[in-house]
Structure 1
Amino acid sequence: MPVMPGAEPYHHAGGPIGVLLCHGFTGSPQSMRPWGEYLAQAGMTVALPRLPGHGTTWQEMNRTRWEDWYAELDKTLADLRGRCAEVFIMGLSLGGCMALRLAEVNGDGIKGLVIVNPSVTNDVPLLRLAPLLGLAIPSVPGVIGDIKKEGVTELGYTRTPVKAAATLPRLWALTRSELGKITQPVLVFHSPQDHVVKPASLRILREKLTGGNLNVVELTDSYHVATLDNEAERIFVGSLEFIRTNASVPLQRD
């Protein structure tokens, strides 16, 4: 299946600190590419995979499930851990949820998390009917492109594949049920003006991550896809400072 130009995965071999970047549901690596390139220039080893079914067609994505997307991230994480002394995970939207899940499963194998407008609960009541709707309606209007900055677009699907979306509640529930396992530092960048993910997700994180390891930074001039929005640079710089603060090995520039 041909990949959309610009939706290709991105990898950079750098120093001993690895960063796994996780893009969002129906999006593509394009939404995270500037972030990955920024960290690569700072000397990180960076992996930004394209999740199965993404960056091609929504019809292909309808043949995938959350387990397929997570498996791709898990495989990439294993490769990073084999090549790097320490690994951080960073994610956008549903990519933030999968980053949290990876931290729950891998424990001390993850040094810290930086997540942007993470989604950990169902904000669309109609999604509860998705398993039935998928039998009659293959897709609904998409959710990509929630960006405040003029002239910037997100590369992804204008339609949301219903069968793929129907698998999300299981991932959300599983992730929420084990949030207490996360002891690593977690930095959340949150846009109050988010038209995709409602405030409930951040509220859940604040309720569950009570060990003093959660820090929330508000983005007042960005919408959901903040990694491409007005405050993208703030996210990039903040994530690098987060690594500098929490890594136990020195950063290495190319």
Structure 2
Amino acid sequence: MPVLPGAEPYHHEGGDVGVLLCHGFTGSPQSMRPWAEHLAAAGLTVSLPRLPGHGTTWQEMSRTRWEDWYAEVDKAFADLRGRCAEAFVMGLSMGGSLALRLAEVHGDAVQGVVVVNPSVVGDTPLLRLAPVVKWVVPSIPGVAGDIKKTGVAELGYTRTPVRAAATLPRLWKLVQADIHKVTQPVLVFHSRDDHVVKPASTAFLRARMGQNLEIRELTDSYHVATLDNDAPVIFEGSLDFIRSHASVPLTKDL
């Protein structure tokens, strides 16, 4: 299946500190590319994979499930850890949920986590009904493109494959059940105005996590904040986070 131009994965070989970036549901690496390039320019080794079924057609995505998306980031994380002394994981929306799951599963192998408008709670009625709706309709209107900044577009599907969406509740339940295992430093960027993920996800993390959690509010962006007005805040904030928590130099000695 041909990949849409701009939706290709991105990799950069840098120093001994690595970063894995996870894009969101029905989105593509395009929504994370500027962030990835910013981290790469700072000397980091960066991995931004394309999740199965994403960046092609929603019909292809309909044949995938959350286990496929997690398997892809898990594989990318293993590769990153094999090349770097330390690794951080970061994600947008559902990608934030995948990043937190990696931290739950891999423990101290994950040095820290940064998530932007993470989706960890099923607070959208239509998605909660997806396991039933999938037998009635193949797709519903898409959720991509929630951006405040004029002239900026997200490369994502205009339709949401219901069969794929129906697998999300299982991912959310696992992340919720094991969130106590995340003892690494976690930084959450939360858009005050988000038309895709409701405040319940950030509220859940605030209620269930300890002093290792920091939440920063974004005041001038919608859901896809990595492409929005507050993107520089995210890029610099995540880089400062890495500098604060990495125990080895970010760049290789020349």
CA distance in 1, matches of 2:110, 2:15: 16
> Helix, strand or coil for the counterpart of 2:90?
strand
CA distance in 1, matches of 2:183, 2:233: 25
* Equivalent AA in structure 2 for residue 140 of structure 1: I
CA distance in 2, matches of 1:239, 1:127: 30
Structure 1 position 126, deviation (Å): 2.7
* Alignment of 1:176 onto 2:176: yes
> Helix, strand or coil for the counterpart of 1:18?
strand
1:1-254 aligned at under 5 Å gives the runs 1-210=1-210, 212-252=211-251
Structure 1 position 106, deviation (Å): 0.2
Structure 1 position 136, deviation (Å): 2.2
> Helix, strand or coil for the counterpart of 2:47?
strand
Sequence identity, in percent?
Answer: 73
> Helix, strand or coil for the counterpart of 1:40?
helix
* Equivalent AA in structure 1 for residue 28 of structure 2: S
Q: TM-score, normalised by structure 2?
A: 0.98
Structure 1 position 197, deviation (Å): 0.4
CA distance in 2, matches of 1:236, 1:121: 25
CA distance in 1, matches of 2:185, 2:85: 17
Residues paired across the two proteins, number: 253
> Helix, strand or coil for the counterpart of 1:24?
coil
In angstroms, what is the RMSD of aligned CA positions? 0.9
> Helix, strand or coil for the counterpart of 1:120?
coil
In the alignment, structure 2 segments of 5+ residues that lack a partner are none
> Helix, strand or coil for the counterpart of 2:26?
coil
CA distance in 1, matches of 2:17, 2:161: 36
CA distance in 2, matches of 1:119, 1:129: 16
* Equivalent AA in structure 2 for residue 219 of structure 1: L
Q: TM-score, normalised by structure 1?
A: 0.98
Q: Deviations over 1:142-171 (max 9, x none)?
A: 000000000000001000000000000000
